[in-house]
Amino acid sequence: MKKGDIVFLQGKGFISRIVRFFDGGGKFSHVAIAVSDTRVIEADIGTRVSVRPFERNNYNIIEVVDLGLSINKRREVVNSAMKMIGVKYDYVQLIWYGLKRLFKVKGKNRLNNPKYVICSELVFIALDEIGVLKELGINISHKEGIDLSPNELYDLVKYVS
């Protein structure tokens, strides 16, 4: 795990199983950005966006995605995410994923509060704001109201990496 890598995780707990269920049954329940080989920046349930030690034993599956970025771009990804330190977790957005899954609701996420973030949103915004998505040939933006769940983000970055 190197600075700027995207770290996809499957937690061991009950909340992780719920997140995966509402995220279409995908294998990941969480995503973070590596700050170093031992620390990540993340938005996690029950906390605000922060840098924390990475506890490998808390997860069943860990997949690190290296986007092939230069050292400078890796630093920019981390710096972009660091601007969101202290932002609250968007619990209401999780309700949207539940409605979408249970009732087959289509369309734009009407419950996404732009002042709060979930884990995949933090990563998506950080990559988008410094132009990494465009450099990878991905022409979508969080500014268009697009937000992605952990597994949707995984599919997107894995496709281009």
- What is the spatial distance between Cα 26 and Cα 77, in angstroms, rounded to a whole number? 25
- What is the spatial distance between Cα 45 and Cα 25, in angstroms, rounded to a whole number? 19
- What is the spatial distance between Cα 160 and Cα 50, in angstroms, rounded to a whole number? 27
Q: Does residue 161 surpass a pLDDT of 80?
A: no
CA 117 to the chain's CA centroid: 9
76-92 tens-digit pLDDT: 999 999 999 999 999 99
DSSP of 4-71, one letter per residue?
A: T-EEEEEESSHHHHHHHHHTTT-S-SEEEEESSSSEEEE--TTSBSEEEE--GGGEEEEEEE-----H
> What pLDDT, on the 0 to 100 scale, is given for residue 157?
92
> What pLDDT, on the 0 to 100 scale, is given for residue 108?
80
Average pLDDT for 91-102: 88
> What pLDDT, on the 0 to 100 scale, is given for residue 120?
96
> What pLDDT, on the 0 to 100 scale, is given for residue 147?
79
Would you say 95 and 43 are in contact if contact means Cβ atoms under 8 Å apart? no
List phi, psi (to 5°) of 111.
-105, 10
Token pair for residue 64?
């690190």
Beta-sheet pairing, 50-53 with 39-42: antiparallel
pTM of the model: 0.94
40-77 tens-digit pLDDT: 999 998 899 999 999 999 899 999 999 999 999 999 99
- What is the spatial distance between Cα 16 and Cα 111, in angstroms, rounded to a whole number? 21
